[in-house]
Amino acid sequence: MDGGVMGKSTMDGGSATHFKGWRKKFRVDGLCDWLVFMGGVVSALFLVWALWRVGSSNYTMETLKTEGNPVTHKCQGSNSGETSYSGVGDWDKGPENFYNDPQVGYTIGKTIKGWDMKRKMWLEQHPHAKNYAKSRVLLVTGSQATPCKNPIGDNLLLRSFKNKMDYCRRHGVDIFYNTVLLEEHMYTFWSKIPLVRAAMVAHPEAEWIWWMDADAVITDMDFELPLESYENYNMVLHGWKHLVYEKRSWTSINAGIFLMRNCEWSMEFMERWASMGPQTPQFDASSELLSDTLPDRAFKDSDDQSAIVYLLLKEKEKWGDKIFLENLYNLNGYWVEIVGSYEDIENIYKAAEKEHPILNQRHAEKMSREYAEMRKLYMGFDKKAVSMGQAEMNKRRRPFVTHFAGCQPCSGNHNKIYSSENCWKGMERALNFADNQVLRNYGFKHDNLSSNHVTPISSFYIPF
């Protein structure tokens, strides 16, 4: 309060008359002072409240940073456990880095000498790169840059790419989809060779380059490539030795899907392989040579698949020991023999889920690989394969890949032994068969394999 007013009290020796006047005056002045006092009190309280709010807000923000808010924390990212990016170092800028060597190229015709050592040095300088591709596999595929002539072609290729993306997401596989011709004169089926060659240089962290034709559909999302079985090999193809060496058949292998190790041997092999392609002056001579060697060839011109069979036959000592012909599973399943069996295979899997309900338990998509291992154990794929035979076992389990070779979904120029209806409907069935394996983690399934309409799944196993 104002100290001057307090100085006029009776304790200062004033008379009664003066006191009466003072009391009258106090009624007026005191009211004003009281209002001033209350205003000060309110202002002080407001100031204290404001300071408390600021302090409380700061505490809340600090608490969120350290303790986490129950709602907000769910949307916050975390870098814990990740290897930090080390940046571009002196090695990358120096002469030891093969990318800085003008003699190193991405294309066929420019052999990279000492590629194995160059890759080894690169990996030593970039240990974090291994985390980008956990399986160290790069799937390479692609299609033409222009729209498909077949009205349904673009949709089928889009869904086929989505199918491969689904698999790669589940299994930690990197993927590259190409739509351009890297070597002008290496067209049609030859175009894959310069693409795989370029992918090796672009991805030194990848141990395997996995080529897959656009018309191939992955129809077992659980299956993992048995890379440990290929430790001593540099190329893996679907094929049969007796058809190569005894029958000399151009269909003894299929070059539409293969694994190629990222190494110097592979680069040298691709140079030899490509030497029979349309970009070389020896193309016509190679065409005649292949026809003379392989009596059942279906092509007049030299083709990539026949060229591999020829190299296996004529240059076996140089290449044969490093090429593995796989036929224990459908690395390249023939669609005509497969598409009609999907429902029967589904019923086998449903029977296993009925016997072992845990296989039908809901789980996050990231847990799919763990559940796949459990399914493999409960369904006894390996054990039963020994007792009933591999061929019979393959009829009971999902085919890894269904390849629509000869259908040509983009151009529509399918092999005349197939009808267009069988090709397109078969491919749709394969895509939906695979899609059901993905959609179940999202709670849905296709009404049937010929329908794109989906319905919620209501029959999951709940363990309580």
Q: Given the structure tokens 């449903």, which residue do they identify?
A: 350
Of residues 96 and 217, more confidence is placed in 217
- Residues 79-126 pLDDT 10s: 444 445 557 888 999 999 999 998 889 989 888 999 999 999 999 998
pLDDT computed for residue 87 by the predictor: 73
Report the amino acid identity of residue 55.
G
Task: Give the residue among 216, 201, 223, 212 at the shortest CA–CA distance from 140.
Answer: 212
Confidence band of 240 (pLDDT split at 50, 70, 90): very high
Burial status of residue 58 (CB atoms within 10 A of its CB: 0-12, 13-18, 19 or more): exposed
pTM: 0.81
Nearest to 238 by CA among 426, 112, 400, 5: 400
Residue 286's pLDDT is: 97
DSSP label at 358? G
**Contact 330/401 with Cβ under 8 angstroms?**
yes
pLDDT at position 129: 80
- Burial of 280 from C-beta contacts in 10 A (0-12 / 13-18 / 19+): middle
User: What is the reported pLDDT for 394?
Assistant: 75
Q: How would residue 66 be classed by pLDDT, with cut points 50, 70 and 90? A: very low
- Helix (H) / strand (E) element for 312: namely helix 304-314
Distances (CA, A) of 396 to 216, 345, 369: 20, 6, 20
Cβ neighbours of residue 293 under 8 Å, at least 6 residues apart?
Answer: 248, 310, 313, 314
pLDDT of residue 436: 98
* CA–CA dist 47, 72 (Å, integer): 30
pLDDT over threshold 50, residue 7: no
Beta strand pairing call for 174-178 and 137-142: parallel
- Identify the CA nearest to 299 among candidates 308, 311, 290: 290
As a whole number of Å, the CA-based R_g of the chain is 37
State the pLDDT confidence band at 8, using cuts at 50, 70 and 90: very low
- Identify the pLDDT of residue 34: 52
When pLDDT is averaged across residues 417-442 and rounded to a whole number, the result is: 97
Token pair 């259908």 is found at 407
